[in-house]
Structure 1
């Protein structure tokens, strides 16, 4: 007969208020901790049975039952695991931070398969129940032959009572008498939600029972054939299987079930590592509708199938968090609440390994089916570029498979592209022209295409940063937007502007254009039908865009640094030059110069509302004159 009163053995007088209020950042976690302890108790029994130190019926169904009663304000967790004796309760429960899991591992480490880990490490998880309880009871019977069932009661202070129990079934039941400020944990929907979140893949089946509904059942209800209850969790998640055992549809089903995303993923990476650390998981590349969908994804971190947290950046580098997936790593060093990771060499190695596996998968896709890889590019290019910016080792692995879309609609690597353009004197240093807006820069694109020239399309928000990064990494490559300069291939051969004509044209345009900040350049272009185009310095534009992004330099005037290139090969320009001294044509010359400037600005979408109003009025007047 057991009967004993005692005090919980602690070294800090005020540890209970700390445990109750500050041990966990999220009160819901107490459910994970208690269920995890139940899983440990069952797994310990299985291990002992496997080495002949415990007797278990081979047909026994191991399970954890979570039962609740709003009427009685009780929440109950039951398992049919190893159980405890009164002495073990005193040893493992009443001595805070003495972990039974840790001692069990040390005692049986030579007899247990290391692949089957015990969840608990710290011995504090149990005390999370006091965050929501006024009183806690433990009713338990050990697996050991001849053991006496014991009952432990504690009301949230350091005093407890141990007495004999009438329990006849092996295992443990923990009953929480829920405090008035925590009664939301007696709601069936909330309990299901929490169990699904934290325990969805725990290795023991978990069942939820509403004791109030069970008590309301009539005798007729009880006589009816009962529907077999379904566990709330999947004890064999897909990531534990070998990749060779999994079909494409298995991966897609798992993706839908875990992330509630009914768009099929593009592809996935199945991680399955046993050495030098234990790491399993699946990372998915999601399909995006547009660039705005590229927000932080969801990578769930598990420890022995127990959910720890989403998107822990110490393990999953931030650029990989654009993906969706699950990572299970029992070797991660967790702190007391399992919510954050300690930074150490193991974490760094695991993180590096994950990054390398992602890079290897991308390389494999590129080499095995480039067309398929190109089809994925619009969905994955931001992820890859961001990864390169954040992790130079990742860039070093994937730099040769970074592809770019051209204005011809084809995909090319930078090496392939520069080898094709490095035929002219100008491109010995591999100057790469690019387009940031295919519609706005269509006039420049047409000039390129007419002259059999090519350019890259770099139109995402990350590309400004990325091209600067590439220029830094590849010293012989420079990027210039298609409207920043005129390549020699666009200039008419043998055509030149005399100094006299240049001065005359510059004077005419300066006198007749309202924008006095614009600079002038004069050339003869192969494209005869374009009288003038706007050129914007690449470096000035980059500085302006950067200042706009980060603030503080918007009004420095970088965006005002534009040049109007006058095409001497255009008939209108030739006519202006021919009538430079014709006084009767002064008004017509003024209208033509301003109109040429406005048309060039329109191709850049840079006309102000006032200038646009004037342009429309002038255009209408010119149309009227053609009819008259």
Structure 2
């Protein structure tokens, strides 16, 4: 079942239990409480006390803070705890992320208290999070020297589900006109993730500057928890999780190290595992440009890309406060992606963080798929998350963030193309397929044209190796030119020797040369750019045929009777394979060409059809579907000779004409497999040699 489906089911179960639990509360209060818990993060989640008012074996602590002893869960709230602890998260490893986040918040609160109220003798360098794993005892322990809790705090924070002490702390600071951007917690449910892996959870805690011996909170996640005084408790909080038999891997250093570096590698305090610090990579996206040197960028890029040798070609540090608070950093790898990387269904290379804690690795929500070659991080304290902090909410807001980031990356690449054309040419050669994918995959014309700004093409009027953008092409257009003309060919040599370029060369118009197989489909998808229609030169030739203009020489007014007779004979030989036979004087080196309206679409159709059925369409089916026009160069020696001998040498003439026709079809890209013509060529050679 998909994670989103599970979350919906869990949410429904939680809401159902909450409604039953509050059956004794007034209707308005009950609705408010349940709705707040499942609302967007900007609203206040409700607090659900899940201990009974009837307490057994209680006694007042020496400090008089609260009663110690055993507390019973109510039946329905015990079930609620079970759901939150065991069904809310997609992976049980997330408990490490949640508990480290809680420790980070505790340290942040203590640091604020230290700076604003009193001197506890602890400097920033002393704050740290320690994780201790013990395979023999099958335990994992989290310890910090943060704010700490007394017995009353333990009951309030650990005995009440969905009461976020961190959120309350943030609200207090905001009411004082202060901020707390480093506080991670929002919902007050992260602690209970410990019960996903633990059969028993014991918490030791003590506030700084408190003379009491400290307190212990203990629960096996069933029907009760207990609170008692404890001796020799250091200021801060220590959580000891006795792992379930099937969760023994979390008592091993390798497993815990990988999880910490995946989710919490950028937490602002040292995280030590059995005495060794794990988080040594700095969150560069939170730092100022003057604080970051090239070595730091390179190390961070290699961390994000998982490579130890690769370099980045481009880097972008992007920060904005609208539409949301966003702190981000992006890199483009220098190494050219392989064909497998280009073609495979790979995921995004950008990870989503919230306050330096990983929310989604390689998220698919923040950049379009065509930008999957980009590596980086997007961090926002305002991104709306669901209760488990694994899924995003408010799709319209996420779409705005996506558009903002995508637009910024496109502007960055465009700026780089002007700053260093040679460097951009290297980037374009490596990532053009992704850019073309972006043009074809975007849903609106405005977005397609936005991506198309990054495309570069050689043209008929520029020397080989020099390319232009579509905007530069439009700038160079003549006043009477209305279209952007392009020609698809595998290379410049084939483009310049193409019969279609030859037929329009006399017009002196600039033609974009498109060498990649996907260019043609992309041009058909883009259709227009800046109000100019993208027009293939093949279509321009067809359009010329239908112009009622005496200046065009595609008409047959000056054709000799002999050539007219030859045309009729040609149509008889080719039959239904062609819709019409015409003569032209626009060709120079080529004896003939085939013209079809929207030839690019026809080629795409034939390729698709060939993949489905290698036999392809019959000649008759091609003629009926595409209505090709066969144009003969009336000045070419081969055509002139055929017009003279087609009556006296009908067999050789027919074979030669068939070859001229199929040569033209191959030049047009309308034949997928040219091997069948080999036998005819052999027959033609034999007949010619026999005449010698």
Q: Which residue of 2 aligns with 1:293?
A: 341
Aligned mates of 2:248, 2:562 — CA distance in 1: 89
Secondary structure class of the residue paired with 1:477: strand
The 8 Å contact of residues 485 and 536 in structure 2, kept in 1 or not, is answered as yes
Matches within 5 A, 1:203-602: 203-209=268-274, 230-234=276-280, 236-261=282-307, 262-274=309-321, 277-287=324-334, 288-290=336-338, 292-294=340-342, 295-343=346-394, 347-387=398-438, 389-390=442-443, 394=447, 402-406=455-459, 408-418=464-474, 420=476, 422=478, 428-430=481-483, 432-438=485-491, 442=495, 444-445=497-498, 448=501, 454-460=510-516, 463-464=519-520, 466-472=522-528, 474-480=530-536, 482=538, 485=541, 498=559, 500-501=561-562, 503-513=564-574, 516-538=576-598, 541=601, 545=605, 548=608, 561-582=627-648, 585-602=649-666
> Offset of 1:167 from its aligned partner?
3.0
Matches within 5 A, 1:62-81: 62-81=127-146
> Offset of 1:526 from its aligned partner?
4.8
> Offset of 1:360 from its aligned partner?
3.0
The 8 Å contact of residues 81 and 161 in structure 2, kept in 1 or not, is answered as no
Aligned mates of 2:209, 2:189 — CA distance in 1: 25
Secondary structure class of the residue paired with 1:49: helix
Aligned mates of 1:493, 1:562 — CA distance in 2: 16
The 8 Å contact of residues 495 and 513 in structure 2, kept in 1 or not, is answered as no
Structure 2 residue 243 is the aligned partner of structure 1 residue 192? no
Q: CA RMSD in A?
A: 3.7
> Offset of 1:79 from its aligned partner?
1.3
The 8 Å contact of residues 484 and 537 in structure 1, kept in 2 or not, is answered as no
> Offset of 1:239 from its aligned partner?
1.2
> Offset of 1:477 from its aligned partner?
1.6
> Offset of 1:141 from its aligned partner?
1.7
Distance 1:550 1:308, change over 3 A: farther
1:156 to 221, 231, 245: 221
Distance 1:330 1:602, change over 3 A: same
Please report the TM-score for the alignment, with normalisation by the length of structure 1.
0.84
> Offset of 1:546 from its aligned partner?
9.7
Unaligned runs of 5+ in 1: 210-228
Unaligned runs of 5+ in 2: 1-60, 62-66, 546-550
1:87 to 152, 155, 160: 152
Distance 1:433 1:525, change over 3 A: farther
Distance 1:609 1:569, change over 3 A: closer
Distance 1:195 1:607, change over 3 A: closer
Matches within 5 A, 1:86-105: 86-105=151-170
Distance 1:491 1:285, change over 3 A: farther
The 8 Å contact of residues 205 and 235 in structure 1, kept in 2 or not, is answered as no
Aligned mates of 2:140, 2:536 — CA distance in 1: 67
Distance 1:73 1:305, change over 3 A: same
The 8 Å contact of residues 133 and 139 in structure 2, kept in 1 or not, is answered as yes
Distance 1:486 1:395, change over 3 A: closer
The 8 Å contact of residues 568 and 574 in structure 1, kept in 2 or not, is answered as yes
How many residues of Structure 1 are paired with residues of Structure 2 in the alignment? 602
Q: Which residue of 2 aligns with 1:36?
A: 101
Structure 2 residue 86 is the aligned partner of structure 1 residue 21? yes
Matches within 5 A, 1:111-126: 113-114=178-179, 116-126=181-191
Aligned mates of 1:158, 1:105 — CA distance in 2: 32
Aligned mates of 2:497, 2:557 — CA distance in 1: 21
> Offset of 1:302 from its aligned partner?
0.7
The 8 Å contact of residues 522 and 568 in structure 1, kept in 2 or not, is answered as no
Distance 1:551 1:101, change over 3 A: farther
The 8 Å contact of residues 85 and 149 in structure 1, kept in 2 or not, is answered as yes
Secondary structure class of the residue paired with 2:635: coil
Aligned mates of 2:435, 2:679 — CA distance in 1: 46
Distance 1:245 1:72, change over 3 A: closer
> Offset of 1:507 from its aligned partner?
3.2
Secondary structure class of the residue paired with 1:207: strand
Q: Which residue of 2 aligns with 1:181?
A: 246
> Offset of 1:577 from its aligned partner?
0.9
Cα distance per residue 1:565-592 (max 9 Å; x no partner): 221121010011122432xx11221221
Cα distance per residue 1:100-135 (max 9 Å; x no partner): 111122223355852633100101111111111111
Distance 1:83 1:547, change over 3 A: farther
The 8 Å contact of residues 524 and 601 in structure 2, kept in 1 or not, is answered as no
Secondary structure class of the residue paired with 1:114: coil
Cα distance per residue 1:498-518 (max 9 Å; x no partner): 2745542333334444x7423
Distance 1:445 1:421, change over 3 A: farther
Secondary structure class of the residue paired with 2:392: coil
The 8 Å contact of residues 296 and 323 in structure 1, kept in 2 or not, is answered as no
Distance 1:344 1:620, change over 3 A: closer
Aligned mates of 1:377, 1:606 — CA distance in 2: 31
Q: Which residue of 2 aligns with 1:226?
A: none
Secondary structure class of the residue paired with 1:595: helix
